[in-house]
Amino acid sequence: MIVAKTRAELRIKRHELIVAYHKANLSRPVVGIVPTMGALHAGHSSLIEHMVRECDLSVVTIFINPAQFAPGEDYDTYPRTLDNDLRVCEQAGVHLVFAPGKDEMYPADYQTTVRVAGLAEQWCGAARPGHFDGVTTVVSKLFGLIQPDRAYFGQKDYQQYRVIERMAIDLELSVDIVPCEIEREPDGLALSSRNRYLSPAERAAAPRIYQALTRMQELFAEGEREVARLIASAGRLLNDGPGPLIKLEYFAVVHPRSLQARETAEPGDRVLIATRLGKTRLIDNVPLEG
């Protein structure tokens, strides 16, 4: 596995890998990318394994993108575990890891922002101003550098997946955006690099987020369609019992593509939730099946 830390190194190594593949196979490789911020866990591994199965050349990027953290967020304390991340990539069969520093991605004369209007302004975009501008900007740069045919994103960050899909359509980027299933702990908590911030009491309470989501699915399956009633019933589970408070930032049923809030739920809609446990912000989501 090759590790590139600069854009120049990446371009050369990518080119060499493509030429070698072409010589051996007399065809162009399908290039895949999994963009990450590192601190890799089983959620990332499932994206990486999905890519390795489907692509001829597999690239993982590891970059804690300062542009997607608002002032006062956890950029400085975000976990950095590069040695372990490289082992995970190597074992999964990744060919190339790009792990640049922040000055490498944003040199002093850097000036451009990529913004998806509308879709990126609601939900997490409203709670974290500028967050999605940082995401779409860095993902555009990574697409430009790696020129992937397929890019793998977790549905854990459902809005991010839809925002990037929109960007790829609007900017005519010839890359398939591939959504991947959410990986969870046995108790239902969605895996996240930020779960390690939780105190033992917060960790014990955190599975209630997924319990509220699955309650929503059950109520929907039983025929309830009125969103206000669905939210009121399922929301009660969040702070049912002892332990720290789960503060709700938003809890909504939305159209799966436009992410517009619904008053009456329909099959195929998505339930989105964002919460705070102490200082830690946790998000999750589930589909409503017909």
Out of 44, 131, 150, 270, the residue judged to bind ligand AMP by CB under 6 A: 44
Q: Write the CA distances from 195 to 118, 205, 206, integer angstroms.
A: 29, 12, 9
Distance of CA 218 to the CA centre of its chain: 26
Distance, CA of 86 to CA of 66 (rounded, Å): 21
Does 95 participate in catalysis according to the annotation?
no
Q: Which two tokens stand for residue 179?
A: 């959504």
**Binding segment (CB under 6 A) for ligand AMP, from list 53-61, 117-125, 175-183, 244-252:** 175-183
Closer to ligand AMP by Cβ: residue 51 or 254 = 51
Out of 10, 13, 36, 165, the residue judged to bind ligand AMP by CB under 6 A: 36
Distance, CA of 122 to CA of 113 (rounded, Å): 18
Out of 13, 95, 156, 262, the residue judged to bind ligand AMP by CB under 6 A: 156
Closer to ligand AMP by Cβ: residue 157 or 165 = 157
Out of 180, 189, 209, 273, the residue judged to bind ligand AMP by CB under 6 A: 180
Q: What is the DSSP letter of 261?
A: B
Closer to ligand AMP by Cβ: residue 36 or 140 = 36
Closer to ligand AMP by Cβ: residue 186 or 241 = 186
Q: Is 117 exposed, middle or buried (0-12, 13-18, 19+ CB in 10 A)?
A: exposed
DSSP string over 99-144 = ---HHHHS-TT-------TTTTTSTHHHHSTTHHHHHHHHHHHHHH
Q: Does 37 bind ligand AMP (CB under 6 A)?
A: yes
* Smallest gap from residue 68 Cβ to ligand AMP (A): 9
Out of 137, 192, 280, 285, the residue judged to bind ligand AMP by CB under 6 A: 192
From residue 71 to residue 110, what is the string marking binding to ligand AMP with x (rule CB under 6 A)? ----------------------------------------
Q: Which two tokens stand for residue 263?
A: 């008053």
Check 22, 41, 44, 95 and give the catalytic one. 44
Please tell me whether residue 12 adopts helix, strand or coil conformation.
helix
Q: Does 164 bind ligand AMP (CB under 6 A)?
A: no
Closer to ligand AMP by Cβ: residue 13 or 50 = 50
Closer to ligand AMP by Cβ: residue 191 or 286 = 191
Task: For residue 272, give the nearest of 290, 259, 289 by alpha carbon.
Answer: 259
Measured at the CA of 77, the angle between CA 181 and CA 159, to 5 degrees, comes to 30
Q: Does 183 bind ligand AMP (CB under 6 A)?
A: yes
Q: Write the CA distances from 272 to 49, 66, 225, integer angstroms.
A: 26, 25, 16
Residue of closest CB approach to ligand AMP: 154
**Binding segment (CB under 6 A) for ligand AMP, from list 7-15, 44-52, 113-121, 125-133:** 44-52
The residues, any chain, with a CB within 8 Å of residue 251's CB and separated by 6 or more, are 212, 231, 234, 235, 271, 272, 273, 274
Q: Residue numbers of the site for ligand AMP (CB under 6 A)? A: 36-37, 43-44, 46-47, 153-154, 156-157, 180, 182-183, 190-193
Active site residues: 44
